[in-house]
Structure 1
Amino acid sequence: MTDVILNVEGVSVSFGGLQAVNNVSLQARDRQITSVIGPNGAGKSTLFNLIVGAIRSNSGHVRFQDQDITGWPSNRICRAGLARSFQITKLFFDLTVEENLRLAGQALEPGNRLLRPLAHSTRADAKAQELLERFLLGKRRNDLAGYLSHGEQRRLEIALALASEPRMLLLDEPTQGMSHGDTEDTKSMIRDIAQEIAVMLVEHDIELVMDLSHWIVVMHQGQKLAEGIPQDVRANRVVREAYLGEA
């Protein structure tokens, strides 16, 4: 069985009187796709933010690659090999596609070369060229990121997250607002990524989740409602009532 790479143990966080995440535990395995689903307000994105250090939990632990990363700042977690994309696209819109990727790839350079001009960043440049081709952005390399289509911007953001060569990638609604064609391209790319590293998704497209995922965690009102392989989650009566709205 594939090794567990992420172990979330009983994490909770509240905002005032709202219990956004309540005693949630889950595991993700290397080179598999784990999806977190649930209705709006279920706590999915808050859980993601807890895992990557953007929010501190009130209780529980997060372990990644056998390290307890609970309470670590986001930049340290990223350096440890856990990268993420965002629900709202975050790019340098006034830089070209290639410049965005080369900047992200600076994380691969030795510490004494981080402040040198991009022209001297050989590893960053090599990584940028690789990702341009992998994410079908080669023809747009010299275009400003702000001029890309929505689907291209979402693909570029995933490419940026991969530029640091993480061991696990967390994607928050990666196909949101995409056309059918862009969604299919992105789905294929996510499947390819998962052949190399672990992937965790928050996604509202149920059919995409059922098609891609090895394991699904269902959240409802801040708690874990159910988990299992796609066939079992789809057939779960409690899930169908709470999430799919079926009696």
Structure 2
Amino acid sequence: MTGDVLLEVRGVSISFGALRAVQGIDLEVRRGQVTSVIGPNGAGKSTLFNLISGNLSPSAGYVALEGRRLSGRPVHEISVLGLGRSFQITNLFFDLTVMENLLVAAQVLEPRQRLLRDPRFSGRAQARAEQLLHQFGLAAKERELAGHLSHGEQRRLEIAVSLAAEPRLLLLDEPTQGMAHEDTAETAALIRRLAEDITILLIEHDVGLVMDISDHVMVMHMGRKLAEGTPSQIRADERVLDAYLGRG
């Protein structure tokens, strides 16, 4: 059902020594929508993603996906429960081919007793990898090493890898970082297409892109939630204009 709460973040906090990186964040991500998190560098956006995806454990609060608590679970278990993630810094096996990267990620779809098999002979993983190759326009690069791809192609492959396990929620951490304008436009179009089938939680520095593709936006500042609402509400919010967007 579109619009019901898929991901719930309640009172999540974490500190690193004296630094309060994330402070009491509440957020609801609704099924079938694109929800974006924006804010200046150091606002705590990527730390929040790490708390949601299990790379960090909150010192207070919790995260739940479809009513199941994620906080305290290992990353691989969170993946099985339906959360996929791409990273701000490209996170691929550069010495493996495009197809091999996808096969490794899709192995989670296989029954547990078959997980140690060579992924090239795993039927479901193979079928998912081939599907993603065509969906992301990478079929011609199937046998090319991931390290030899262009930056834009690597980012595309990383998103495909994040989808290999068929998650219900996809976290994208600055997917257009370092891209040329043409690659950014292609990635924006790709996110729009993906949003037709999967719920997306996005961190992105390109405010124009965020406002164009998002249903809901949360603004972070100094580890706290500054504001949230529709793109038009965020554009008009005086606190956001003063702290982040500016008045130009």
Query: Which TM bucket (shorter chain)?
Result: over 0.9
* 1:101-129 deviation per Cα after TM superposition (whole angstroms, max 9, x unaligned): 11111111111111112232111111111
Amino acid at match of 2:204: E
Offset at 1:245?
A: 3.4
Amino acid at match of 2:44: G
Offset at 1:186?
A: 1.2
* 1:182-220 deviation per Cα after TM superposition (whole angstroms, max 9, x unaligned): 112211111111111210001100000000100000000
Task: Summarize the alignment of residues 1-247 of structure 1 with structure 2, pairs less than 5 Å apart.
Answer: 2-246=3-247
Give the gaps of 5 or more residues in structure 1. Answer: none
Amino acid at match of 1:242: A
- Output the CA distance in 1 between the equivalents of 2:25 and 2:183: 33
- Output the CA distance in 1 between the equivalents of 2:232 and 2:8: 23
Amino acid at match of 1:79: V
* 1:123-169 deviation per Cα after TM superposition (whole angstroms, max 9, x unaligned): 11111111011111111111110000000000000000000000100
- Output the CA distance in 2 between the equivalents of 1:71 and 1:160: 24
Aligned residues of 2:227 and 2:240 also touching (Cα < 8 A): yes
- Output the CA distance in 2 between the equivalents of 1:47 and 1:208: 21
CA RMSD of aligned residues (A): 1.1
Amino acid at match of 2:190: M
Amino acid at match of 1:243: Y
Aligned residues of 2:103 and 2:120 also touching (Cα < 8 A): no
Amino acid at match of 2:81: A
TM-score, scaled relative to structure 1: 0.97
Offset at 1:76?
A: 1.0
- Output the CA distance in 2 between the equivalents of 1:203 and 1:113: 37
SS of equivalent to 1:243? helix
Amino acid at match of 1:153: Q
Percent sequence identity is 57
Aligned residues of 2:14 and 2:58 also touching (Cα < 8 A): yes
Offset at 1:79?
A: 0.9
- Output the CA distance in 2 between the equivalents of 1:13 and 1:119: 41
Amino acid at match of 1:214: D
- Output the CA distance in 1 between the equivalents of 2:120 and 2:129: 12
Amino acid at match of 2:11: G
Offset at 1:237?
A: 1.1
SS of equivalent to 1:218? strand
Aligned residues of 2:82 and 2:167 also touching (Cα < 8 A): yes
Give the gaps of 5 or more residues in structure 2. Answer: none
